[in-house]
Amino acid sequence: MERRRIAVVAAGLSVPSSTRLLADQLTAAVVADLNRHGIEVRPEVFDLRDTAHDVVNNLLTGFPPDRLKHVLDTVAAADGLIAVTPIFNASASGLFKSFFDVVESAALAGKPVLIGATGGTVRHSLALEHAVRPMLTYLHAVVVPTSVFAAAEDFGAEGLRERVDRAAGELAALVAARPATEVVDPFTLTRSFEELL
């Protein structure tokens, strides 16, 4: 059976987090869809609040602490990414934006990405289109056409499931169509110990 890696980043600050809930629904739908394509997938899900201090340290020093480096490496090596933010002041949250400010510029190039957001009001559902999609397009990610916004009243209501499934189908189709991302071990690039020095 073929395999693919899916990374998931959720920038919710509350515990429990509605942003994480939406991320989990999107992840389950993407996994189910890839399974239908005959592809096995083990998603790796990260709550960015766990690395919030590390993100700030990376911004200040230019280097990611180990825990954040693991998240960044996982995102870079993934065949597809699900990125979900709460909407703060009609835009992505500061933590979500800062995280993508420390992602290596080449890490998302050509990578299929599904974007989602939660908010207090459906009036801000287009924040994904004017704030998040342009940022990821700038990073050369391939953002699927359907983005998923969920206000508090959308959870459990008609319509969200359909949008989740449509967006998940789009991400799964792109991930299935691409060869699995090759993870390059830097040590395999060298032929001798001298070259390592």
Ligand X SMILES: Cc1cc2nc3c(=O)[nH]c(=O)nc-3n(C[C@H](O)[C@H](O)[C@H](O)COP(=O)(O)O)c2cc1C
Q: Yes or no: say if 65 and 58 are a contact pair by the CB < 8 Å rule.
A: yes
Residues 6+ apart with CB under 8 A from 21: 118, 155
Q: Is the Cβ of residue 39 or residue 151 nearer to ligand X in the bound state?
A: 151
Total residues interacting with ligand X, rule: CB under 6 A: 16
CA torsion 169→172→42→158, rounded to 10°? -10
CA 195 remoteness from chain centre: 35
Give the residue ranges of DSSP H helices in the chain: 18-36, 52-61, 66-77, 94-102, 127, 133-138, 160-177, 193-196
The Cα–Cα gap between 191 and 67 comes to 30
121 binds ligand X (CB under 6 A): yes
Q: Is the Cβ of residue 109 or residue 152 nearer to ligand X in the bound state?
A: 152
Residues numbered 19-48 forming contacts with ligand X, rule: CB under 6 A? 19
Out of 6, 8, 18, 81, the only residue in the binding site for ligand X (CB under 6 A) is: 18
Out of 12, 43, 80, 112, the only residue in the binding site for ligand X (CB under 6 A) is: 12
**SS3 (DSSP) at 82:** strand
Q: Is the Cβ of residue 87 or residue 143 nearer to ligand X in the bound state?
A: 87
CB atoms within 10 A of CB 121: 11
Out of 2, 3, 14, 104, the only residue in the binding site for ligand X (CB under 6 A) is: 14
Q: CB 47 → ligand X: shortest distance, Å?
A: 9
Out of 4, 5, 111, 124, the only residue in the binding site for ligand X (CB under 6 A) is: 124
Q: Which structure tokens are listed for 92?
A: 């992505």
Q: Which structure tokens are listed for 79?
A: 């065949």
Q: CB 89 → ligand X: shortest distance, Å?
A: 5
What character string, x for contact with ligand X (CB under 6 A) and - otherwise, covers 73-102?
-------------xxxxx------------
List of residues contacting ligand X (CB under 6 A): 12-14, 17-19, 86-90, 118-121, 124
